[in-house]
Amino acid sequence: MAQFSRTWWGQRFIAALEEFTDPARLGRGRSYASGGRILDYTLANGTVTARVRGSINPYFGVYKEPIYRTSITIKAISSADWKKAIRQIASRADLVTKLLMNEMPDTIEEAFSGLGLHLLPHSELDFVTDCSCPDYANPCKHIAGLYYLLASALDRDPFLMFELRGLSRDDLHAELVRSPLGQILSSALKSDDVLPEVEPVESYYTHPARETDAVIGSHKEFWTGAKRLPAPLAAAPQASVPALLIKKQGDYPPFWHKDVSFISVMEELYDRVRTKNRQMK
């Protein structure tokens, strides 16, 4: 289900289908929706119409892949009920704010439930479906596939449900803007600031500068270069005072528990290391 409905309204839509639809048919419908068997679909006058590829079945005499015409209509809300619902929505700032900003409020159903209405379908009575296939069951797998495709479309555009219920997005927006709360919000959303004109440019990237290649006269000049490498650095002179850094820290540090001087021991160690290094050269 998550593949076709990632939003709460899409999940609510599919939950209504699962209440009255055979799970096996829903499973076949999911495979139809995800398998590319729905060729196209259109929405007009609150009805979703699609062309769905059928299956070849020689047992029933179907030797050529059929194309079925499938439609889903969601019961529209009457104009009188829409006026009541708009008044309920317009009285709540949280609903008006989100709807005018093209967001679906998660409490939108509260404005309808008080009137005995539902925006999202809740039962089988909210749907009127039809398919030209010979399957007598309703919904058939073609209708079930269109159900899931419609749920996916609702995920992308939740205002599609308003259109399926008989109210277009433009009419909803116009009604909300005319309300007192809508007028306040719409005036706040309008900005009088004029953005400065942006001068067109050929590219946002810096063009690299071109440099001419150096002309090399001979192979020797190529390998040795025009300039000689600097002379190697002279070896650093040996420290005149052995264990100088240790002596700066003072004798008998806290971790040294012997009676002999820690500095004298380290001086002897430094001398041995220096002598050994000379012998290895």
**Residue 220 belongs to some domain of the structure:** no
**Which of 52-66, 73-87, 194-208 comes out lowest in average pLDDT?**
194-208
Q: What pLDDT score does 215 carry?
A: 65
pLDDT at 1: 42
Give CA–CA dist 229/92, Å, rounded: 81
Distance, CA of 263 to CA of 58 (rounded, Å): 101
pLDDT at 235 over 80: no
pLDDT at 194 over 70: no
Boundaries of domain holding 33:
8-178
> CB-hemisphere CA count at 13 Å for 169?
11
Angle in degrees, 0-180, between the axes of helices 180-189 and 79-90, rounded to the nearest 10: 60
Are residues 138 and 249 both part of a single domain? no
- Is residue 80 scored above 80 in pLDDT? yes
Indicate whether 3 belongs to any domain. Answer: no
Share the mean pLDDT of the chain: 80
Measured at the alpha carbon of residue 190, what is the angle toward residues 103 and 161, in degrees to the nearest 5?
Answer: 25
User: Do residues 257 and 170 both lie within one domain?
Assistant: no
67-74 and 38-44 strand pairing: unpaired
Please count the structural domains in the chain.
2
CA distance 135 to 157: 31
Q: How confident is the model at residue 87 (pLDDT cuts 50, 70, 90)?
A: very high
Shared domain check, 255 and 146: no
Whether 35 is covered by a domain: the verdict is yes
Average pLDDT for 154-159: 86
The band of 153, judged by pLDDT with boundaries at 50, 70 and 90, is confident
Tell which of 158, 178, 198 closes a domain. Answer: 178
127 contacts 8 by C-beta, under 8 angstroms: no
Domain end point (choices 178, 196, 214): 178
Q: What angle do CA 160, 80, 101 make, to 5 degrees?
A: 35
Considering the domain boundaries, does residue 253 fall inside one? Answer: yes
Which pLDDT band holds residue 44 (cuts at 50, 70, 90)? confident
pLDDT at 49 over 90: yes
Q: Smallest Cα–Cα separation from 141: which of 52, 228, 63? A: 52
The per-residue pLDDT for 51 is 93
Output 211 or 43, whichever has higher pLDDT: 43
Same domain, 150 and 254: no
Q: Could you give the CA distance from residue 172 to residue 266 in angstroms, rounded to a whole number?
A: 88
